[in-house]
Amino acid sequence: MSSEKIALTQTVQKGGCAAKVAASELRRILQQVKFPAAHPALMVDGGLFDDAAIYKVSEEIALVQTLDFFTPIVDTPKLFGEIAAANALSDVYAMGGKPKTALGILAFPLATMPESVIVDVMQGACDKVAEADANFVGGHSIDDDTLKFGLSVTGFVHPQQVWSNAGAKVGDHLILTKALGTGTMTAALKRQEAQEEDIMEALLSMATVNNAVDYMTPALKAQVHAATDITGFGFSGHSMQLAKASGVSLKVHSEKLPRFSKAFSCLEKSYLTKAHRTNAQYTEHDVDVAKLDALHKLLIHDPQTSGGLLLSVSSNVSQDMVQALRAKFKSAEIIGEVLPLQDKAVIFE
């Protein structure tokens, strides 16, 4: 049996970041856990739902640590490996860091899938790790009922150049680097209402490594005040978390939000996931969607897999920043600005 004949999305109930535990449920669970006291060298932990942890090693180096894994979101094994790796690497970039090492996390149904599937998945991941100029150094695997794959990634960042979701400043402009709509478009794929070639724009975006750092001059990078990547909690959830962590409000111009060409048509056909509902519930008290039409409401709650970076940058460099980023991220766009704290964390215009 060849890996090309297996539609991976049909082997699992949920795929990609849409399989994440709902944010409200996760918060309720974590609030019941007594975590160890933070070491003084720990600069960023999970308290503000940031993208990765930061541990200061010296005055010049801090470790960036993260992990991410999920079930297949596409049918082609190598593409699944590429997307899973790009998604995991993204968290290091979202902290302003550069990945250095990656460990694989693998659950594989030995009895029902040929080994060629995991060879292709691993090769796709290795290609993306190499693209990030990092090293694949090992991992752990188990025999399981369904395929799951991801990476634990360690990177470096200068302690004084850390991006977090807690530094947005009033007057900043907001930049989003990738289009929205991966959730609904891959839902169409899972329902077999679309083929991979039909949603290739979303697949190529998900496989794009979120290395924004190398497209910025040091002067531009220094003007990034806050950052996060947009994944399973949708644009609404991750922007809300950034606003709350920073103690500000965000005004977002919905017509500026980049979206894939088929995103609205898939949403119109109700190609949805459970996360569309749970993301709406998670943000309902802190996000003002009164001015949005029905499709934009669905779009902002759409669970992204390997989505773009949301950057809060000085307004005087935002245009230069977008032009620099578009060398790699064609959809990069200024989508809003940072306001003093209002009644709502995020206000959609």
Question: Same domain, yes or no, for 234 and 121?
Answer: no
Percentage, residues of the chain above pLDDT 90: 85
Number of domains in the chain: 2
pLDDT of 19: 66
Say which residue the tokens 């490996």 belong to. Answer: 81
Q: What CATH number should be reported for the domain holding residue 144?
A: 3.30.1330.10
Mean model confidence pLDDT for the chain: 93
Confidence of residue 52 (pLDDT cuts 50, 70, 90): confident
What is the mean pLDDT of the segment spanning 129-135?
A: 98
Residue 243 CA to residue 259 CA, distance in Å, equals 22
Residue 134 CA to residue 130 CA, distance in Å, equals 6
* Domain housing 141: 3-161
Question: Same domain, yes or no, for 268 and 333?
Answer: yes
Confidence of residue 16 (pLDDT cuts 50, 70, 90): low
Q: Is the pLDDT of residue 198 over 50?
A: yes
Cβ proximity of 91 and 134 under 8 Å: no
Q: Can you list the positions of beta strands (E) in the chain?
A: 42-44, 53-56, 62-70, 98-108, 135-143, 148-157, 173-176, 224-229, 249-252, 287-288, 309-313, 333-339, 346-348
pLDDT tens figures, 292-301: 999 999 999 9
Q: Is the pLDDT of residue 77 over 90?
A: yes
Residue 1 CA to residue 77 CA, distance in Å, equals 14
Asked if residue 264 is part of any domain, the answer here is yes
pLDDT tens figures, 263-293: 999 999 999 999 999 999 999 999 999 999 9
Judging by beta carbons within 10 Å of its beta carbon (0-12, 13-18, 19+), is residue 253 exposed, middle or buried?
A: middle
Judging by beta carbons within 10 Å of its beta carbon (0-12, 13-18, 19+), is residue 295 exposed, middle or buried?
A: middle
pLDDT of 4: 47
Q: Which of 102, 136, 161 is the last residue of a domain?
A: 161
Asked if residue 91 is part of any domain, the answer here is yes
Question: Same domain, yes or no, for 116 and 224?
Answer: no
Q: Which of 161, 195, 218 is the last residue of a domain?
A: 161
Q: Is the pLDDT of residue 311 over 80?
A: yes
Asked if residue 223 is part of any domain, the answer here is yes
Question: Same domain, yes or no, for 147 and 21?
Answer: yes
> 126 an active-site residue?
no
Which listed residue (6, 17, 129, 309) is catalytic?
A: 17
pLDDT of 135: 98
Say which residue the tokens 């004084």 belong to. Answer: 160
Q: Is the pLDDT of residue 161 over 50?
A: yes
What is the mean pLDDT of the segment spanning 161-169?
A: 96
What are 207's two structure tokens? 């496989």
Of 139, 66, 121, nearest to 98 (Cα)? 66
